[in-house]
């Protein structure tokens, strides 16, 4: 063991990094960006979910509870008619509505607090927040008025999903898409980069091939691989993991195919900006991690701080995740305007990336 030789290796390593500004940036900037984003997502002035309150109570208590809910900072409560509730859950303007029935005060006299809780149900974290707000209002009303010793018996009703669903059911839909998107992206960016670094792209450009033909050929080749992978992931999720699915399997496959297409073209496009496989892999924390955080997989987009919602709205993964959840949890089909929007946006991104990929192909072959 020679300290001298070990030192030579250590020194050489640090010298290499000194010239590789991108790796340095990744090493020191990326963690701040990712942690900062995460902190802002969780602690930032997040938007409270919109909850409707319908007070039909003939006694006084419903009024008291409704006022307590409206004061809550966890949710943004507003008065509605109970008959409008389901429609507003469907169009997404409310995530839940709470009904204080006609006999609410009467039953409270006998010690039973039984509001009707109607949840949209596709976002488990939002459902939890609604219950938390309700508990808080009970605590605040109880400490001011009737005193302890009552049962809390909410009449819970889910529009979609329900208590039979577990965490995997909620996240499975999003992850089916994410796994395909991520792996296809990595494979494409690395093999397109190889084409550059081994000099064959130079040869292709000196042949009668047109740029569009190269991009299209790549796209079809990788899409074939991606479709087989999508089918495998989907079959495994549904048959082995038994992830809850209410919609058409073909439709899920269609959305996955669109995502794969977007991932292929994103890979081709971004390979222009990398000179080695090492640099290509660096795109993962820069491109993939923020998308995972902001696409609504972990944190619902509707509860993000406003500025982040804008960012989420321009990321293709947001629409893909939303589309997959609509199909698998809500049983959406192509007649739903929300699913038409999601599919349309993902398809639009594909076209945009195809154009961007072919346009930049000429620039950096040297």
Partner 1 sequence: MAETFAVDIEGVKKSFGGLRALDGVNLRVRPGEIYGLLGPNGAGKTTLIRSIVGLVAPDAGTVTVLGRRMPAVDVLRNIGYMTQQAALYPGLSVEENVEFFAAINGAEEGVDEVLKMVELDQRRKSVVATLSGGMRQRCSLACALVHKPKLLLLDEPTVGVDPQLRVQFWEDFRKMAAGGTTIVVSSHVMDEAERCQRLGLIQFGRLLAEGTPNEVRAQAGTNDLEEAFLRLAGDKVS
Q: Which two tokens stand for residue 140?
A: 């605040």
CB–CB of 130/338 below 8 Å? no
Which residues, including other chains, have CB under 8 Å from residue 118's CB and lie 6 or more apart?
85, 86, 89, 96, 97, 98, 99, 156, 157, 158, 159
Report the nearest approach of partner 1 to the CB of residue 199 (Å).
3
Question: Closest CB to partner 1 among 201 and 259?
Answer: 201
Scan residues 142-201 and list those touching partner 1 (CB under 8 A). 198-200
The distance of closest approach from Cβ of residue 280 to partner 1 in the complex, given in angstroms and rounded to an integer, is 18
Phi/psi for 51 (5° steps) reads -125, 135
Shortest separation between residue 272's beta carbon and partner 1, angstroms? 16
Contact (CB, 8 A) for 329 and 243: no
Contact yes or no for 230/251 (Cβ under 8 A) = no
Give the C-alpha separation, 126 to 121, whole Å: 8
We find the least distance from the C-beta atom of residue 195 to partner 1, in angstroms, to be 9
Asked if 314 touches partner 1 (CB under 8 A), the answer is no
Structure token pair of residue 102: 């006609």
Instruction: Pick the closer one to partner 1 by CB: 13 or 216.
Output: 216
**Closest distance between partner 1 and the C-beta of residue 359, in Å?**
16
Q: Show contacts with partner 1 in window 192-221 (CB under 8 A).
A: 198-200, 202-210
Residues 210-269 that bind partner 1 (CB under 8 A): 210
Q: H-type helices in 148-210, by residue range? A: 167-197, 200-205
Q: Please, are residues 193 and 154 in contact by the beta-carbon 8 Å criterion? A: no
How many residues sit close enough to partner 1 to count as binding (CB under 8 A)? 14
Q: Which is nearer to partner 1, 92 or 199 (CB)?
A: 199
List interacting residues with partner 1 (CB under 8 A).
Answer: 198-200, 202-210, 365-366
């Amino acid at each position: 063991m020679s300290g001298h030789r070990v030192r030579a290796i250590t020194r050489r390593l640090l010298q290499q990094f000194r010239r590789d500004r991108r790796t340095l940036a990744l090493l020191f900037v990326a963690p701040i960006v990712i942690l900062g984003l995460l902190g802002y997502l969780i602690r930032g002035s997040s938007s409270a979910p919109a909850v409707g309150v319908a007070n039909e109570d003939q006694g006084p208590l419903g009024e008291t509870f409704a006022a307590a809910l409206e004061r809550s900072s966890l949710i943004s409560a507003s008065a509605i008619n109970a008959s409008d509730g389901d429609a507003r859950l469907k169009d997404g303007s409310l995530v839940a509505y709470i009904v204080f029935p006609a006999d609410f005060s009467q039953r409270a006299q006998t010690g039973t607090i039984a509001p009707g809780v109607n949840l949209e149900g596709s976002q488990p974290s939002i459902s939890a927040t609604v219950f938390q707000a309700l508990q808080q209002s009970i605590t605040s009303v109880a400490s001011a008025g009737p005193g302890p010793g009552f049962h809390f018996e909410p009449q819970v009703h889910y529009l979609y999903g329900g208590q039979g669903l577990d965490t995997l059911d909620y996240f499975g839909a999003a992850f089916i898409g994410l796994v395909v998107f991520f792996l296809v992206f990595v494979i494409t960016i690395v093999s397109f980069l190889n084409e550059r670094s081994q000099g064959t792209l130079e040869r292709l450009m000196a042949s009668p091939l047109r740029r569009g033909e190269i991009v299209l050929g790549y796209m079809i080749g990788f899409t074939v691989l991606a479709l087989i992978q999508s089918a495998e992931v989907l079959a495994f999720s549904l048959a082995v993991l038994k992830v809850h699915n209410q919609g058409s399997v073909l439709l899920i496959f269609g959305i996955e195919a669109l995502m794969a297409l977007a991932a292929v073209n994103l890979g081709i496009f971004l390979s222009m900006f990398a000179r080695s496989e090492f640099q290509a892999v660096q795109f993962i924390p820069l491109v993939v991690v923020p998308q995972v955080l902001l696409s609504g997989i972990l944190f619902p987009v509707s509860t993000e701080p406003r500025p982040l919602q804008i960012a989420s709205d321009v990321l293709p993964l947001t629409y893909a995740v939303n589309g997959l959840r609509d199909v698998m949890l809500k049983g959406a089909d192509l007649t739903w305007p929300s699913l038409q929007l999601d599919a349309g946006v993902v398809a639009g991104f594909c076209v945009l990336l195809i154009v961007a990929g072919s346009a930049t192909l000429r620039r950096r072959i040297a």
